[in-house]
Structure 1
Amino acid sequence: MGVEDTFYVVVAGDTLSKIAVRFHTTVQQLQAWNHIPDPDHIEVGQRLLVAEAPSGFVPFPGADWFRLEPNSPLIGMMGIRLVEEGCSAYGPDGPQTQWNQEHRNSYALWQEKLGFTGADADGWPGQKTWDKLRVPYPGPF
């Protein structure tokens, strides 16, 4: 199972229930993984986590995803893992679900902890460093 099997981009005519059936999951699980409070509101072009990877950890969503400044429970879970690893540049409120400069600074600390330097420790997640972080799936919100 690759990234293409765990993420899905919403197209015209999709509903959360149709997507849940297609990927053998539930509307509630899709809501939890993707921070969707209203199951009747998804948008064309929205990228959804639709399946759990066999590893039990969130697969790398792709470098471009972070540059879109996502607001996702995956970002919050990543932040929690960075704090657990001693790589926190977060303020007093801790990691939030919206990608921001605090996340990028914290991720740069993680990259440095793994031995990356220079442009390889710029705070933008990559496949190797993400896989080592082992971000768990978010639960219900």
Structure 2
Amino acid sequence: MPDLWMPGAQHLDIGDHAPTDGGPAKAIAHITWDKNATAAKPVDLVSYTALRSYFAGGGASVAPHILWDPFTGSFTQFVPANSRSKSVVDLAGGTRTNRAGSVVIQIEALFFPYCRVGSTVYPRLVDTPCKGWADLQNWVHSWGVPNTWPMGKPVDFTSHRSESTWEKSGGWYGHSQVPENTHQDPGSWPEFVGTTTAKPSAKYEPFPGSSFFATGRKSPIIAAMHKRLVAVGCGRYQSDANANVWGSGDERSYAAWQRHLGYAGTDADGKPGKTSWDRLQVPNV
């Protein structure tokens, strides 16, 4: 069984668990949209701790499964994956929007259009660093939610709703696509990791996301990468011990690969990116 609680997320169980109805597995993408700002008048982003306290307290009746901070990669989970949450309107009769699937995992990204963080203003969610997205996507996918948008990936703040599609198709939906609701968020959402660029062959590992490469991460993917870096003449390892654990030797070796591709400076810092990863052609494990 997949993890009821997202690995790496803070667990802040608010109780009030209830089962879902079964059917195609779904995820719903929201933004908190807790302030109204414009390009001419940006507003400082509301703090993550403030939103976390809200959903754990006075806003518990509308809390999602996951609060995600795309600027830091922080997550807080309020109910387990197999429970419904109550972040969308569910009118009497018709589809039960919060329960219409084997899971209906609801994600609130801490964001509003033209929020300001430091000296930078972010018009769209996809303009943020989107830190932690790969981990979030992978956890949601582990619950059977397809990496698809049955009603199209959100690209603006307009509503597109079809109750028949909602009832029959698993995948990701924007709040703007959920029946019985009037909200128009999220406006944008990051691309699925490893599915947006054609790969040379299905025999190669898709890019697992930048957050995957953390010190101490243990995976057969890292061992396969280790072998490829050595094979292309970029191995800078002192030994082959713990070849499946990301460490300083991997970073040195990957930096050598980046320099081999022509990158320099901060672009050759040993932290894998999608373009260099795809060119390395790590065998599928």
Q: How would you bin the TM-score normalised by the shorter chain?
A: 0.5 to 0.7
Query: Equivalent of 1:119, from 266, 275, 278?
Result: 266
User: How many residue pairs are counted as aligned between the two chains?
Assistant: 97
- 1:102 corresponds in structure 2 to 249
5+ residue gaps, structure 2, are 6-80, 82-134, 143-198
After superposition, where does 1:1-141 map in structure 2 within 5 Å?
A: 10-12=2-4, 55-67=202-214, 69-93=216-240, 96-138=243-285
Q: Deviations over 1:73-109 (max 9, x none)?
A: 1000000000000001111336700000000000000
Give ranges in structure 1 of 5+ residues lacking alignment: 1-9, 14-43
**Deviation at 1:12?**
1.4
Indicate the structure with greater strand content.
Answer: 2
Q: Which has the higher contact order (CA 8 A, sep 6+)?
A: 1
Which has the greater radius of gyration?
A: 2
Say which SS state the counterpart of residue 98 (structure 1) adopts.
coil
Q: What per-residue deviation string (whole Å, max 9, x for no partner) do you get for residues 18-58 of structure 1? A: xxxxxxxxxxxxxxxxxxxxxxxxxx9895898xx863200
Runs of 4+ with deviation above 2 angstroms: 44-50, 92-95
Query: What's the secondary structure of 1:129's corresponding residue?
Result: helix
Partner amino acid, structure 1, of 2:260: K
Could you state the TM-score of these two structures normalised by the residue count of structure 2? 0.31
Paired with 1:86 and 1:128, the residues of 2 have a C-alpha distance of 19
- Root-mean-square deviation (Å): 2.8
CA pair 95-130 structure 1, distance change in 2 beyond 3 A: farther
Shift of 1:67: 2.4
Alpha carbons of structure 1 residues 88 and 99: separation in structure 2 relative to 1, 3 Å: same
AA aligned opposite 1:100: G
Give the Å deviation of 1:129.
Answer: 0.2
| Change in CA separation of 1:109 and 1:95 when aligned onto 2, cut-off 3 Å | farther
Give the partner amino acid of 1:11.
D
More helix by share: 1
